[in-house]
Structure 1
Amino acid sequence: MGSTGSLQTPLCDVLECRYPILQAGMGGVARAELVAAVSNAGAFGCLGMVRESPQRITQQINEVRSLTDKPFGVNLIPAATDPELFRVELDACLRAGVHTMVYFWDVVPDAINRAKQAGCRVVYQVGDVDQAIKAEAAGADVIVAQGVEAGGHVHGTVTSLVLLPQIVDAASIPVVGSGGFGSGRSLVAALAMGAQGIHCGTVLLATHESFAHDVHKRQIVRADADDTLHTDAYAINWPPHSAVRVIKSQSTEPYEQQPFGHHADEMPREQVAEEEGRPVYLMSTDSPLKSMTGELEKLAMFGGQVAGQVTAIDSAATVIRRIVDEAEAVIEGFARSAGPAGDSDSIT
């Protein structure tokens, strides 16, 4: 194991974590056990609480705190949540004194202002340069630049390799790479492009602590990089024309020749599963969770192209350790190749 100082970036100071690795706030999947495991491993965990009740949010925050004393965030999506529900969700987070609010989709300045006034740090995940500029102008502390390779909801249209340096050049606050990042080599690549860390979803979905159902985790492990579909066919529950990336399945076959141009109003409400009495519909944005029963293989198997690098279901700590060890080995290899003049204590 190398020196952890080689991975210290200003992002670590902002979020008070040891490693510049953020866990994506995957709705439903990122619950207390995963969040605590990630934060305990030295990275930054994040609860995925999109459209959850204030009671569940409070319960989940308390559960994380019972499992770790490390900082963590809570992910909400102001632009894709009913305004009244978002208000009470955020109220619950602020009452609980959450360390960091993590937002996604279109930038909503008031959501940033409310969190900042309560003393929270704010991370905003965006898919293009304009949204990054808006987020910084509204007071965000960190920008997550999401490339089109990412799993789950995808807000941008270009690859991380193109988007990340553009946002780094446009922003004066720390920028984090998202989409295709799940290894130590990709962490070093992000740092080389000017980012201060990476944002990982798919590789942490397929962990023991994730609340994803085993059927979803196994699909991630089986998938190759070309086994994903970028589509707006999973339309129920989100604003129109909201793209996602999923692992291809029987449910995606009718849409693979025409992946875009679909609308929730066109989708029949065909119940294929349930969660605690709640119907779960085919082509909704619900992914299979441990709390669901039914034909779970028909649900949205969110996953990014980095799924091709996931070969087993491991613990979150194992995944974080593997990323860190590989990154440090790459950096140490660079230093050895460069000789004494290339030695460095940190990457900033």
Structure 2
Amino acid sequence: MPSTEMLRTPICDLLGCRYPILQAGMGGVARAELVAAVSAAGGFGCLGMVRESPQRIRQQIDEVRSRTDKPFGVNLIPAATDPELFRLELDACLQAGVHTMVYFWDVVPDAIQRAKQAGCRVVYQVGDTEQAIKAEAAGADAIIAQGVEGGGHIHGSVTSLVLLPQVVDAVSIPVIGSGGFGSGRSLVAALALGAQGIHCGTVLLATQESFAHDVHKQRIVSADATDTLHTDAFAINWPPHSPVRVIKNESTVEYEHDPFGHCAEDMPREQIAEEEGRPVYRMSTDSPLKSMTGELEKLAMFGGQVAGQVTAIESAATVIGRIVSDAETVLGRFADRGELGES
């Protein structure tokens, strides 16, 4: 079997994408330009619309559709959003006929059921086996299993290498690996662990189409795997004890010896930036965006340990193409050695 066909897994049919490469719904960063570029390149793009207004969600959905006719998803976080705002966000998505809802954090069964009743597919990102089982029981179509290596908000404490096969064994629906994935070799590794694809954030944040500010993209390019910090110090805007992984910067120095046990109430509201008239605070979960001005280098530089593999700011299509090409090369070597059976 040609290696290209070997990369096609059931998740591709479920989501309508060519390759089993999902783009993380990074809040603020994953807007229409990036989402459309990923989906057009054969991956599965996902708008990061956490705590955005229904108006912005509708505008972003329309903009993606103006750029590509490929399927894409919208990421919301039921457990970390005001219930009324979440209801309005989800209404906007369902009224627009969104293909797939991608949820994250604690599983909220009602959020799954509402989307499913509207004919929408649901993918749930979790950090442990218990939440994966709960999501499947509530009707989710697929699971994203996130290892602690990932960037942004981290919901578990186990590495991808350990977590992924555990979740695969615990549920009967497709599982996608997240955290530390961003290359063709890692895609093949995820498939070997029983996953049906990979979920990529950091490597797509540092692309030309990402809405991240250049200061954030350049920080990822210059970082290596040891330059990240797992901490809950960036506490403003999220529920207590919600850890993130960021690239170390001036704001993390005082927390590196004691990264956990912080909450929003303990953080002074020190405004260091603004976005369209909105104040942006130093220890908030806001990351630097193109629409912000101020001391952006002090904000949360979300990034996973895979940042060490990012060496340049390229197009999303280039990143997706390289992952696919490298995966095909690896699978081709296995086939040449007779290590892949017929299927």
TM-score between the two structures when normalised by the length of structure 1: 0.97
Secondary structure at the residue paired with 2:102? strand
Matches within 5 A, 1:1-348: 3-338=3-338, 342=340, 344=342
Secondary structure at the residue paired with 1:150? coil
Secondary structure at the residue paired with 2:46? strand
- 8 Å contact kept, 1:28–1:49: yes
For the aligned residue pairs, the C-alpha RMSD in angstroms reads 0.8
Letter aligned with residue 213 of structure 2 = H
Q: Partners in 1 of 2:277 and 2:5 — Cα distance?
A: 49
Segments of 4+ moved more than 2 angstroms: 342-345
How far 1:343 moved relative to its partner? 5.1
Structure 2 unaligned spans of 5+: none
Secondary structure at the residue paired with 1:338? coil
- 8 Å contact kept, 1:226–1:305: yes
Secondary structure at the residue paired with 1:252? helix
Letter aligned with residue 201 of structure 1 = G
How many residue pairs match? The answer is 342
How far 1:48 moved relative to its partner? 0.1
- 8 Å contact kept, 2:3–2:331: no
Q: Partners in 2 of 1:209 and 1:61 — Cα distance?
A: 16
Secondary structure at the residue paired with 2:337? helix
How far 1:4 moved relative to its partner? 2.2
Q: Partners in 1 of 2:265 and 2:220 — Cα distance?
A: 29
Letter aligned with residue 92 of structure 1 = A
Distance 1:97 1:200, change over 3 A: same
Secondary structure at the residue paired with 1:326? helix
- Structure scoring higher RCO (CA < 8 A, sep ≥ 6) equals 1
Letter aligned with residue 227 of structure 1 = D
Structure 1 unaligned spans of 5+: none
Q: Partners in 2 of 1:207 and 1:228 — Cα distance?
A: 19
How far 1:5 moved relative to its partner? 1.0
Q: Partners in 2 of 1:6 and 1:176 — Cα distance?
A: 16
TM-score between the two structures when normalised by the length of structure 2: 0.99
How far 1:344 moved relative to its partner? 3.8
Q: Structure 1 vs Structure 2: percent identity of aligned residues?
A: 82
- 8 Å contact kept, 1:335–1:344: no
How far 1:6 moved relative to its partner? 1.9
- 8 Å contact kept, 1:78–1:108: yes
Secondary structure at the residue paired with 2:134? helix
Q: Partners in 2 of 1:264 and 1:8 — Cα distance?
A: 44
